[in-house]
Structure 1
């Protein structure tokens, strides 16, 4: 597989710095493929382990080490996706991708590092764009592993199908069909397209999220209903480790009542406006500890989807604040 234009490796020497320099791209690829920061980091670690397991002669025989790393990472992610489907069938409640904090916020939590080259969390390396917003990642979960790999590599990372075929072990024509099938799934799910004006869309969503936060804090059920689309859905992910609803809550009134119930049950809950996967969201803290990270999707100016991640294993970048 050749690296897409703009990131070529002609005459690339398999030195340590150059190989490690591929890490950011691999983390970005693996997170989009797996929807899990922890699994993405594991996949990339395994990719590097395979590289360093080769002899120097074997490494030097590889024309493009960056391309080799991408191909191997893609194959590892494909295997992980296959096993993940079985694991998620046994998952307690709904499964939601791991939410990502804003990169600048994560780095600000690492005050004292001072750029001295200390450990860098993979969250620092994720490029936040429309391909990692929660609505998009949730739709990806409905795809087969092969569809997801073909779609992400081609439509997001712009690899040609001839090179994707090396990852999937299929013909380029078959890979083209897989990507096409994935696009149909996205259209069928009515996944929001990238906004024409991302800045305006972000500002608009930030305003709605702020209104939502204030209505929730005031326990104003009428205001909450007014901010929600009548057919809105709230999905929570506790992973069986913390209490939460096991099935989606549907309808604006039902969601508003549920939120008021939560506010009554958890006095002292602090709501913070934060970027989640690059879009305005909310973080709920109790006694200074992050207990929930919520993502939102809007339809015609109203909140139509809420994804609330409560599984503590998925909140590591938020709870550790980069200071582990």
Structure 2
């Protein structure tokens, strides 16, 4: 009985970290909770007397469960992407160095979760465990059933896709990023006049058939009213090499917006929510 009580207490100590691992692997709080609960059941049934690092054992278990869940998903299944709310309780053995942390600072959150959806399950697991939680490749390799060298390659491919356009230094890209950042700042502040100043008077806002709003809206005033409704759930992202926006309201449908910017003003916004179309976009994280 005392041993079971000790295991329960140890598990609760690890729970926030395990939830963070599960969420970044699965992109769903509900599924992350399911993975963590399954890990507890396995812990309860297992002989852990010879386990030197219970936290590492639990992390590996949640990763294996999450990988199986990723593999079982139907191709292009539509998912609700929720805003990240878990607090990672990561022990010193999982802390990444300051340089890595700086590189990843713009990756943690909705933008990263959106891009992770485009990776294979093995790529996603290798990147998340190594680059975010600093799990050694030698521990990840058995989970993905690859050699250590092949596992490093998985993470490298994922890293290139995630940060594919992050280092692009282009004057037009920089200028467009400034327009988008100013637009999002004005949206969040509720500065309607500033919004109008950043929209072309004849701006066109189009959505695909899966979005539950008007398919086409024209004019700066009408478009500004439409976009301020989502101001708190939007983030800039690189879409097919150009600055765009990802919209992920908690518990609602994921949207990615492709923007056309001319003369320092947003002239066209094409909103995409269809999973098949989303899977065909090349998305990457924008650097600061």
- Do the two structures share a fold, i.e. TM-score over 0.5? yes
Provide the secondary structure at the position in 1 that maps to 2:199: helix
CA distance in 1, matches of 2:206, 2:163: 21
Aligned residue in 2 for 1:62: 51
2:143 aligned with 1:171: no
Kept in 1: contact 2:186–2:195 (CA 8 A): no
Aligned residue runs from structure 1 range 43-58, under 5 A: 43-54=35-46, 58=47
* 1:148–1:182 Cα contact (<8 Å) kept: yes
- For the residue of structure 2 that corresponds to 1:305, the secondary structure is strand
Q: By how many angstroms is 1:254 displaced?
A: 7.3
Distance 1:219 1:159, change over 3 A: closer
The residue number in structure 1 matching 2:212 is 243
> 2:116 aligns to what?
140
* Gaps in structure 1 of 5+ consecutive residues: 1-12, 102-122, 194-203, 264-268, 272-281, 284-292, 316-324
Cα deviation, residue 72, structure 1? 0.9
The reply on whether 1:296 has 2:236 as its aligned counterpart is yes
Residues 156-193 of structure 1, C-alpha deviation per residue, up to 9 Å, x if partnerless?
222221111122122111111111111221243x2479
Deviation at 1:207, TM superposition (A): 6.2
Closer, same or farther in 2 for the Cα pair 1:185/1:52, shift >3 Å? Answer: same
Counterpart check, 1:100 vs 2:81? no
- In structure 2, the CA distance between the partners of 1:66 and 1:215, relative to structure 1 (3 Å rule), is closer
Q: 1:18 to 1:70 in 2, by over 3 A?
A: same
Note the C-alpha offset of 1:262.
2.9
User: Against the structure 1 CA distance between its residues 32 and 65, is the aligned structure 2 distance closer, same or farther, given a 3 Å change threshold?
Assistant: same
Q: TM-score, normalised by structure 1?
A: 0.55
Give the SS at the match of 1:166. Answer: helix
Distance in 2 between residues matched to 1:60 and 1:214, nearest whole Å: 55
Match of 2:226 in 1: 262
String of CA shifts for 1:204-258, please: whole Å, max 9, x gaps. Answer: 99865332346774595443349xxx9xx9999x9x7x72479xx9xxx979677
In 2, Cα distance between equivalents of 1:270 and 1:183: 33
The runs of 4+ residues in structure 1 deviating greater than 6 Å are 204-207, 233-236
SS of 2:235's partner is strand
- Measured on the aligned residues, the alpha-carbon RMSD in Å equals 4.3
Partner of 2:63: 74
Is contact 2:186-2:192 (8 Å) kept?
no
Query: What is the TM-score when the length of structure 2 is the normalising length?
Result: 0.61
**TM-superposition CA deviations, 1:59-95 (whole Å, max 9, x none):** 2232322221111100111111112352xx242xxx5
Q: CA deviation at 1:259?
A: 2.9
After superposition, the C-alpha distances for 1:95-137 in whole angstroms (9 at most, x for unaligned) are 5632235xxxxxxxxxxxxxxxxxxxxx355899544232222
Q: Distance in 1 between matches of 2:253 and 2:138?
A: 35
> Cα–Cα, structure 1 residues 298 and 174, in superposed 2: closer, same or farther, change >3 Å?
closer
**In structure 2, what is the equivalent of residue 210 of structure 1?**
185
> Which of 234, 238, 246 is residue 307 of structure 1 equivalent to?
246
Equivalent of 1:23, from 15, 20, 36?
15
Q: In structure 1, the residue corresponding to 2:68 is in which secondary structure?
A: helix
